[in-house]
Structure 1
């Protein structure tokens, strides 16, 4: 391929990562349902954006800015037609300890640089990497996040502040002694009302009943009229702040390298998982994983410039968008514009929302993230999948989300390799056709399944232990997988047998294994090139003739 053709191909790939008119194909027919879906998602997203901003430590304003700015940018530049992006619970779980350790001042730096990492991953075509994350890891990760989100709301539900520990469970326990009456009674009452409205409204009134926003309006009005002694969000500036470039020192950047890559990894994983879910539950077409990463990276960069948080695709809001009938990106754009209108014209009203109300919203949201049916399916599938699920969930809650995913994938890979190794078989077979004198001096072994580093040693032990044999035939036609270690073990096996005076014949090396066998030395280790056969009958006949000649020579 010439240089011009390569440059043309590169340009075409880059154009595929950018918005185009095709993103809005059919908008003339669907704009009404897109508008309605956007308004619906905006109503759902408002309390979540506020709650996630408060829980992260960045503040309610940061959550709203992220939902507006990142939601708009990701809708335009992302790779999914119906994905809705903004602040999420998983990102809050990662951000909260970062902000606690380094201060809220580092948020813009982390947001912008993590966004650059995610966008670069998309430009480098790394989007399909998420497909290698097993289902038990994803579900364990989700369960762990749900537990952490719930635990993070305990201090607000008690009307107090979280303990100093970075672990959500420990911090929640540390906050218990500081809770005091009557404040705790009012905050728990608010949480209870919010939970009741959110859970019972869709059942008793309508499946699409906007329980979270109705509950927040209700408790906010009651708290204001009754002058309840509960903490509120506080004053919010009207509109969006002016964009500013974050400043940092190189020493500061060195200390933030780990958090930046952790945020970037989580943003990429959660966004791609959400886009994949959206594609599976809608008929609006597939998603472009690489473009999705570019869009999410740009969204986080933009959010950081405006004082927001790193953004990801939000599975719950995306699902609401799809169920509301969204067909194009207009729905997600409308959701961002609606939130901008709320900030611009209702900042004072939003500021009077009790923090306990937001805690109630997130507690219910966390509960809904846990599917009992899914947990039963994973735990009841296989023992190895159940172990991976539990390990991922426990590490997520106890230690770190990114480590949880990495360890979960490593555990799943271990069990997969063990299962693959167990599929490798070494079977001794009877020679085909009528028995002939001397057949007891010939051993026919069939290799099947996968012969790789996890199973190769078993083959060496099984075949290498034979005694009183003059010829060994190794059948390789049923071997599905062969790696360099497996080929080296076969080479070593042949060499050992030949040193003991045993003639080795190899039958049926597959064409795609032949080059590896030649490079590692399988063919070279045979006594003669004619000891390599394509069919079994000639190999058996050669072995029998060899035994007859040996018997004749011994008799002479």
Structure 2
């Protein structure tokens, strides 16, 4: 007898798993879009190059690791991910999380963390947890983004004040304190050179789009600074030698004595990778008609991308909102654009590793500073601050906690805070209202109370509703109107049963009117219907309930 449900579940599981795998349908539009896809791939590859290098350095690892991540993870996520246009690689948010991990556990721990985090994200996708991001409110997302932008900006200050790329890990793990420490101990002569380099890059990035949106301002600025650093006796530190090929894949060191201490950092990395990737895919789906995205498959793809990057000594990967947006705006409509963006970066490694190694770190810091500023949309911030007080507080609270403590903690607290205020607002929509009896008044009507329930009845409003109904005095019959009742949870149903019992104990007859079919089973299970004095005290229309109440009052008056 149980074979059919078992077969149905097996079929559903098979369909679900099949939806997580690549298929020919992923490339159905390539014949029509391949030219635009290739052009978009080149464009986003040019944009991604300085960001991959910069985020690799900013994470405390190396520019090489950032470039490897953009190549390996970029290809894997494009093939296996749930979005047709998602561009994946190292991101600023991930660099923010990795820097304290590197400071505490060393550079060698990053590949291991990427491996563990990749497995966790992959499992989350297989478990169908991709829709979880929809529970994060918009103000929390924007507060998180603002906090990340501030941290990315502040993380560049140590790079501007020293000649060593690894020195960012020598300061506090808190970006604000590290920036102050770096400025306090700065070599003013070196700082002047670094600020000059950063200013050139920032000016190019700001002015280039005014000439033409396709002009790569960041690369132009980096090229100018690099040439000047080569021609002038500059003290600026540089990226250093890069390999002219990708390293061979190797499994990261899995030391049983160290693994337990890396679980918590890996959980943070996995949560961030999932959240950022799903948000990026959702934004891309809203930007253009690129087809629906599969959130569960997106997690599978990003998990595999981090796993692949870890084998080559790369960083944990996530979907990159800015690069994905460039891809869509440049005409990318299929996975070919994401794959080709990685090919462009691979060609840079194979052909131009030498020139790339001469880029000053201050130039990369300039790219990331401008990128951080552009992450914050003033119109968005203004709209949130002018919305509701609860949303404004959730936005600011998330941003402050992100900068001060921890990214994932900030998101959790922001969601909890927003949820508390949402429940509070929802509870205010719950209420009871005493109504006049319909039709012409009759003697004894003053001994009948019609109480209408409005909105939801759930745990947050249950006690208040109980007190309001129980405060009704001087009546013999109470008609509880349920037709306007919306959401009811177990607590709300239980409190309704308590209301009926409390009134009946006082000798008040309770009639229920308009119990909706969707609430009937819950009312029956919790005992609301069983609390009535008689099964005939349940009505579907108000007129028969009023007639019954009036007959009850007449009998009571005659008996008196």
Q: Secondary structure at the match of 2:500?
A: helix
Q: Would you say 1:76 and 2:79 are equivalent positions?
A: yes
Q: TM (normalized to structure 2)?
A: 0.97
In the alignment, what sits opposite 1:201?
Answer: 208
Change beyond 3 A, Cα 1:6–1:518: closer
CA distance in 2, matches of 1:27, 1:179: 53
1:432 to 438, 443, 455: 438
Contiguous gaps of at least 5 residues in structure 1: none
- Greater CA deviation, 22-31 or 468-477? 22-31
Q: 1:169-188 counterparts in 2 under 5 A? A: 169-188=176-195
1:278 positional shift = 0.7
More displaced 10-residue stretch of structure 1: 250-259 or 282-291:
250-259
Superposition pairs of residues 441-456 of structure 1, within 5 angstroms: 441-456=447-462
CA distance in 2, matches of 1:462, 1:250: 61
- Partners of 2:288 and 2:502 lie apart in 1 by 60
Pick one of 418, 423, 428 that aligns with 1:422: 428
CA positional deviation for 1:441: 0.9
Name which of 252, 256, 264 aligns with 2:258: 252
Asked whether 1:119 is paired with 2:122, we answer: yes
- Equivalent residues in 2 for 1:147-296, closer than 5 Å: 147-159=150-162, 161-162=167-168, 164-203=171-210, 205-296=211-302
1:322-341 per-position Cα deviation (integer Å, ceiling 9, x unaligned): 11111211111111011111
Task: Write out per-residue CA displacement over residues 144-179 of structure 1, whole angstroms, 9 at most, x where no aligned residue.
Answer: 100000000011123364452110011000111221
Distance 1:251 1:408 in 2: 35
> Which residue, 469, 475, 481 being the options, matches 1:475?
481
- Distance in 2 (CA, whole Å) between partners of 1:40 and 1:21 is 26
Secondary structure in structure 2 of the residue aligned to 1:445: strand
Give the Cα–Cα distance (whole angstroms) in 2 for the partners of residues 553 and 251 of structure 1: 85
C-alpha distance in structure 2 between counterparts of 1:142 and 1:291, whole Å: 24
Asked if 2 retains the 8 angstrom alpha-carbon contact of 1:191 and 1:356, the reply is yes
Question: Which residue among 93, 101, 106 is the counterpart of 1:103?
Answer: 106
Contact 1:230 1:354 in 2 (8 A): yes
Aligned pair partner of 1:7 in 10, 33, 46: 10
Separation (CA, whole Å) in 1 of partners of 2:462 and 2:264: 38
Match of residue 131 from structure 1: 134
- Measured after TM superposition, the shift of residue 249 of structure 1 is 2.8
Alpha-carbon RMSD: 1.1
Counterparts in 2 of 1:213 and 1:425: CA distance versus 1, 3 Å: same
After TM superposition, list the pairs within 5 Å mapping 1:315-326 onto structure 2.
315-326=321-332
**Count of residues in Structure 1 that have an aligned counterpart in Structure 2:** 553
- Which residue is equivalent to 1:385? 391
Secondary structure of the residue aligned to 1:251 is coil
Q: Aligned to 1:353, what secondary structure does the other structure show? A: coil
- Residue 188 of structure 2 aligns to a residue whose secondary structure is coil
Find the counterpart in structure 1 of residue 37 from structure 2: 34
Q: For residues 543-554 of structure 1, what are the structure 2 equivalents within 5 Å?
A: 543-554=549-560
* In structure 1, C-alpha distance between the alignment counterparts of 2:500 and 2:416, rounded to whole Å: 34
Cα deviation digits, residues 372-430 of structure 1 (max 9, x gap): 00001111111111111111111111110001111111111111111110001100011
Cα gap change, 1:9 to 1:146, in 2 (>3 Å): same
Return 280-289 or 300-309, whichever deviates more: 280-289
Residue 4 of structure 1, CA deviation: 4.4
| Pick aligned residue for 1:367 from 369, 373, 386 | 373
Q: Name the CA distance, whole Å, in 1 between partners of 2:390 and 2:54.
A: 37
Question: Do 1:424 and 1:455's aligned partners in 2 also have CA atoms closer than 8 Å?
Answer: yes
